[in-house]
Amino acid sequence: MRRLFPDPGPTDLDAELDSYLPIENPPDHRPRVAVNMVTTLDGRAAQGGNTKQLGSKTDTEHLLALRTRFDAVMIGGGTMRAERYGRIISRPENRKRREEEGLSADALAVIVSGDLDLPFDAPLFTDGSGRVLIFTRKDEAPQTETPVDLITVEGLIDTSDVLTHLRVEENVRAVLCEGGPRLFGQLVAGDLIDDFFLTTTPVMTGGDAPHILEGNLPDRVDFRLESLLEADGDLFARYGRP
């Protein structure tokens, strides 16, 4: 891996993420919010229905390294259906590292799903580790090995309210949103993003794959490039807010 900006030169993921400490100094009313997404050159978020063919091995390592730094990882129902998540902090060494750094061993898994039509046979629910919190319009979920709590909301689920709940009721200092495009769109529309990690993978997919950002979006939101890395042809950009 090499760093292209700032200070070009050889680097590695540990060196790049060591000083990134999102749980420090969170706002009072919501957690610090980071989003991590992978995009094709034509701005698509998936190929063949999910992200398995997008991004390199390093992109997966980057994702796993990022997760170790957050109290919670949040996704939308569409992502849970397409990606069938397992335990969020899957590697024992990462759970150990989290505990050493003042985090719980497992990150809280947060899902926003109005209809609760989720794959309850996916490893996240069957593994029995950690905890899942689902913001939904339904008031009952199937029994699962992994403890699941529902936050039942009437009408539209407001992502700003979700974040307030996470901060006030769950003491979540920093949350990593891993998409998908429609949940990401709501965070952008609500101006709720502090850090944006974008991996660009050198393929075009076209077809009917969603764009990485979907929904009613503002005309313009400004970001500032914090760093740019390259590995295996993938570009790893980290953006902050001006």
Ligand X SMILES: NC(=O)c1ccc[n+]([C@@H]2O[C@H](COP(=O)([O-])OP(=O)(O)OC[C@H]3O[C@@H](n4cnc5c(N)ncnc54)[C@H](OP(=O)(O)O)[C@@H]3O)[C@@H](O)[C@H]2O)c1
Q: Contact positions toward ligand X, by CB under 6 A?
A: 37-38, 45-46, 49-51, 75-79, 82-83, 112-115, 117, 157, 159, 178-183, 186, 210, 212, 214
Q: Is residue 85 a contact partner of residue 50, using CB atoms and an 8 Å limit?
A: no
68/186 with CB nearer ligand X = 186
Please calculate the CA angle 223-166-52 and round it to the nearest 5 degrees. Answer: 60
Tell me the closest approach of the beta carbon of residue 10 to ligand X, in angstroms. Answer: 26
Tell me the closest approach of the beta carbon of residue 198 to ligand X, in angstroms. Answer: 9
8/207 with CB nearer ligand X = 207
38/175 with CB nearer ligand X = 38
Tell me the closest approach of the beta carbon of residue 100 to ligand X, in angstroms. Answer: 29
Tell me the closest approach of the beta carbon of residue 98 to ligand X, in angstroms. Answer: 22
Task: Report the DSSP pairing between strands 234-240 and 195-201.
Answer: antiparallel
Tell me the closest approach of the beta carbon of residue 9 to ligand X, in angstroms. Answer: 28
Q: Is residue 45 a contact partner of residue 209, using CB atoms and an 8 Å limit?
A: yes
Chain center to CA of 85: 12
97/138 with CB nearer ligand X = 138
75/95 with CB nearer ligand X = 75
- Round to whole Å and give the CA distance between 145 and 180: 25
77/95 with CB nearer ligand X = 77
Tell me the closest approach of the beta carbon of residue 25 to ligand X, in angstroms. Answer: 27
- Round to whole Å and give the CA distance between 48 and 122: 19
- Round to whole Å and give the CA distance between 135 and 115: 10
Burial of 127 (0-12, 13-18, 19+ CB in 10 A): middle
In our burial notation (b when 16+ CB lie closer than 10 A, e otherwise), range 194-212 reads bbbbbbbbeeebeeebbeb
Which residue has the CB atom at the shortest distance from ligand X?
78
